[in-house]
Every structure is written in structure tokens, then in C-alpha cells.
Structure 1
Amino acid sequence: MLSEVTSKEIYNKSIAQLGNASFLQSWEWGEFQESLGHKVFRFSYEESGSNYIYAQFIEQSIPNLGGKYFYCPYGPVGNFELLPKLVSEIQKQYSDYWFIRIEPTNQFPTIGQKTIRIQPAKTLVTNLSVAEEDLLKQMHNKTRYNIKVAQKHNVEVSVAVSQLQITEALNLITSTSLRQGFADHPKSYYDKLVSNQNLNSKIYTATWQDKLLSSAIMIDYIGTRTYLFGGSSSENKNLMAPYALHWQAIKDAKSAGLTRYDWWGIETSTGKQPGFVRFKLSWGGTEVQYPPAQDIPNRPVHYFVYKILRKLNRLF
């Protein structure tokens, strides 16, 4: 039976029992999306008590067409065999939504049309359950060297606490995105993200002689620390501040009992490996490839029009 989950406690407890759910399916991430103006729906479909599937959907509008669709980032989670029933019930009860988009992290049955993922299709995960010396061994030798360079120059790493530190760190992330040509979010997005007290986020900073050289936003959720956004100064690159930052973030996560460090995306649309991808890969770990995203049309004619216009927009 399909139910809309309205209890934060019940939802989080059920998601946690599934073990490796993404923070994108957490109640807290839904609250953050609501602060951005999105409607959020949390559904469960259960059979015989312990057999269930959960999904957090974020309502997305379709520009210029007046339509809307359900988007489930890195979900649903739970018993994949229940996916067809979950979707079928949602389609019946929410017929005004043009389609449902899911981005599973596990292999779910194909019940829709494959589409491009919004979230990373491939990532790198470092196992934190091994000893520190083993973490160092799996790195590229240049990465180990750069960590030592940063330590030699007394690059200091800390978690931003004051509002001034947070503002400077976010400004660096925003300016780095603009400089590298992939400005995905305005600064207000980052402001709301880190100001959400319910999200277990941290801003790491690396400084040298009181000068901010690198910053990164991390989110901890169910045993995993995820490196979500980062920025680095175009000055003093020889000090290797990002290496000091991530090495400290990894050690802190390990000390806190976390078991995974997710580098959040190592694949680009061009197939090439830009500098930030090579940087991530140099730390070693396991590459994880996620299944394709799926669109399940609810209004086939409207969805057909949407697909045509989306293709035209890409051409121009």
C-alpha cells in the first residue's frame, strides 16, 4: 500500500535500516529543497511489514511548458521488486505530473525510458575502515608527496565556525566555479545549504599565513562523508593546500567512525578527465558506476513534447 510519510522519525529510521542510502534521500535534504522553494513528497510502499520501498521526490517544474514532474535523486531505496507497484500507485494518485524520474544507486528493474542522470553517474569511494598507512599506500605517489609538501609549509586545516570563515569559504567555492566555467549554483544556494542546522554539513578550510587557499563542503550521512563542493585559490598553488584539506577530512571522518569517503563524481559528459577528476582519482579507492536514470511517463503525449523540446534546446 502506498503511503505518504509525514513522520521525520519514522522516515529516517526506516532509511537508516537500509544501510547505504544517499543523503539525497534523507529527510533533512528534503527540508533543504523546501527552503529553495520546491515541494517535497516522501512515499513508502509496503507489503507484509518488513518488505518495503521508500522514495523522496522533489517536484520539478518544466520551463516554458507549464508542466511538472517528480524527481527522485539517488533513489528509491529498499526492495527493488516493489518499484513497479510504487510507481503505479503514484501515477494513479498524482496524474497531473507528466512523468516520474528516478536515479537508483542499485540495480532496479527497467520500467521506463533511460535518460541522462542529474546526479553523478560514476563516483569514487575510499574505504575508511582500513589503517591510515593503507590509505596512504593506495594513493598515487604524487598525492602522498603533495600531502608532505603542504605539511612542510605549515598549511593549516580546520572546520569553519565563525560567520566570517564560512562566508570566505563559500566565496572561494563560488569564485572557483565561475573561474573554471561550471557555475552550477548561486551563492545563495550554498548559504542555505550550510545554514540548515539539520543537515550534518561541515566546511573545511586550508589556510597559510592566515590566507584562505582551499575550502570544501562535506556532508556526513549513514557512515559516509561526501565531498560535495570545493574551491581553491589561484594563488600559492605550490603549497598543495587541497591535499592537506582532504587528508585531514579523511582522517577526521575515520576518527568519527565513518567508513566511506565519497568523492562525488568522476565522470564528465566529454569523457575527458579534467584536473578535478584526476585529483580525485589520485587518492585511490573503488570506482562505483550507477545504473541509468529512468523516466516513467505519466502523460505520454506531454512527455513526448518535453523530450522534443529538450533535444532542441541542446542543439541551440
Structure 2
Amino acid sequence: MTSTITSLLENYEQRILGQQKNVRLLLAAALAGGHVLIEGVPGTGKTQMVKTLAQLLDSDFKRVQFTPDLLPSDITGSAIYNMKEHDFQTLKGPIFTNVLLADEINRTPAKTQAALLEAMEEKQVTIQGETYPLPGLFFVAATQNPIEFEGTYPLPEAQQDRFFFKLKIDFPTLEEETSVLQMVIKEQTNPQEIASIFSNDSLLDIQKSVQEVNISNEIADYIMKIVRKTRELEHIQYGASTRAAIAIAKTAQAWAYLDDRDYITPDDVKTVAIPSLRHRVQLSPYAELEGSDIDETIQELVGSVAVPR
């Protein structure tokens, strides 16, 4: 791992307190070229976590507040008729950026949520039949409130499957929360700009280095056994797709890179397995009635798969 990445992590963890593992997972997903879904109650710093990362990366950042009346064209853009030129003109939406924050994505119906599907999978957007490429660095971080909250729409399975990770943001400890309060009060009187650590081009180079992290045949087989196991257990109604295995492999590469290694270990796979699978695996109604927890179920499942030597 380069000194630049080390500096970025140090600065990031100083700004976002009490979320050390989630901060590293968010960065790992960005380095792996994936996208992240972040769930937590309002006021736990989800937006700040994404915005701070964009500032540290010196990336173009756009934020879209998802509401029930938001239209797909409000995100992707639209073609309008220019009366002066007597021709149609394409107005690109906020999705044409490096880091897109889809804030409270489950506040809008599935039709608008689906506006992100093509962009997240193919890094392109189609407006009135014309296809436009997105920037080389394109990272979507979507936040959502827990589905029990009033006025929320559950994300369709196809939408959730596009996210490499689903991160859960919990309340920090008393000491960490006090430090957050003190930091915010201090910055009211002495505002500090967040200095960028490196450019988009540098990040693209690092993404290429992440792709070169070695995945042995044994590790690849280990990942597939974990994913296939999700389809075999009785208390899991819907198992994970092949895309889940790809997400685990790519983010395990990034996690190993952040740990300054050029190879993946089984522990890397175990670290990224829960955030990679928790939104792709659905428990059976019986298991939910029994009070089973999805994270605990995945952890037990991973532990039941033989670790390669």
C-alpha cells in the first residue's frame, strides 16, 4: 500500500469517528470499482462519510435527495427542445459525476430507483435513445433509512444486487460521540477545509493495482463454496447470485491491498463476506419468526465452509 493511501485512511478516520471498519470497507469498495448501500437511522453521519471521502479523493461530488416525487430524468437528465436553435438539446443530470450520493434512496419508488441500474452496471446512461459514457471514476453511495421507518420503499432485489456492500451504521460509543460533538463545536468557530489527498487519475491507477492482487484457485473455490452454500440452507429463502461472488473477490482484493499485501487470505474473504451478502440473502419466513439475524446467519454459514490451507 502506498503512503498516499495510508495518509488518506488516517485523515478519513480522523474526520469520521467511531466507524473505523465501515470507513475502510467504503474505501475498499471504491478501490474495487463497486458501489455501496449504507443503512442507518437519520443523524448518524452517513452523508458526511461519503462527502468526506469525495473531498479526500478530490472528486466531483453530486448529491441527490430522493423523494417520492423524484423522476428518473431528474437523475439521468433529459432532452429538451431549444426554441432558439430549433433542435433538441441534452441536459445531463447529476449522475454525470465521480461520486454520487443517492441520499435516502428508499424514500422514492422503484421506478426512480431503477434509474441508477444502467449507470451502476455499465457505467453509461441512455437519454432519449442516446447513450453517454460516465467518467472513468464513478462511485455510487446510496443511503437508506431502516425499512421499518414510515414512508420508505424496499429496494428491489435487482437494485440491491448492484451494490458490492451494504454497510450498517450504528451509534458510536459515548466517548466517540462526545468527540464528534466537540469536533463539530470546534469547527463552528474554526472551520477547516478538507485537503484532497490525491487526484482521480491516481485513484484509477490504484484501482488497477488492486486488480493485480493475486486470487489463488483455492481462494476462488472458497468464495464460490460460500456463495453456493447460501442457496442450500433451508432457513435461507433466496441465496446469493454469481454477482455476489464477484463482489466478494474484488473487495477482498481491495481489503488485502489496504493491508499492504498482494495476495488474498481466507480472513480477507471472511471480512468482506457479511457486508457483501447481507443485502443479497433473504431469510425464510420461518427463520424470521424464530428471530434469526441475517449477519449471524452469514457468519455461521461462512464458518461452516472449510478454509483452504
Normalization by structure 1: what TM-score? 0.31
- Larger proportion of strand: 1
